[in-house]
Amino acid sequence: MAGKSLVPVFKGNQRKGHEFLFWEHFGAKAIRQGNWKLVKLDGKSDWELYDLATDRTELNNLAGEYPEKVSQLAKLWEEKAREFQAMPAP
């Protein structure tokens, strides 16, 4: 199973975090890497990009300003979704 153990944290130690987190839920999908979060609400929506360091409430979609970041994170989401069989239902 993919993931990292929380045992070191429970014992009061630190551990290195994940390189990225990704998920799919009822056709919505997202990936977070560092402060960047890429979100797609459904199969018809465009990807939305947020910088959580400056926009924690996800009000300012930066996809138009950072198309290369959108492409990079979308590609990573697709690769990992195939690898972990997390593709959304049709």
Q: Could you tell me the CATH number of the domain that includes residue 58?
A: 3.30.1120.10
pTM of the model: 0.85
Residue 82 confidence (pLDDT) above 70:
yes
Q: Among residues of the chain, what percentage have pLDDT more than 70?
A: 96
Q: How confident is the model at residue 90 (pLDDT cuts 50, 70, 90)?
A: low
CA 25/CA 42 separation, integer angstroms: 10
22 vs 29: CA distance, rounded Å: 8
- The verdict on residue 34 lying in a domain is yes
Whether residue 76 is contained in a domain is answered as: yes
In a domain? residue 12: no
For residue 44, is it left (φ>0), alpha (ψ between -120 and 50) or beta?
Answer: alpha
pLDDT at 79 over 80: yes
Q: Which domain holds residue 34?
A: 18-83
Q: Would residue 35 count as lying in a domain?
A: yes
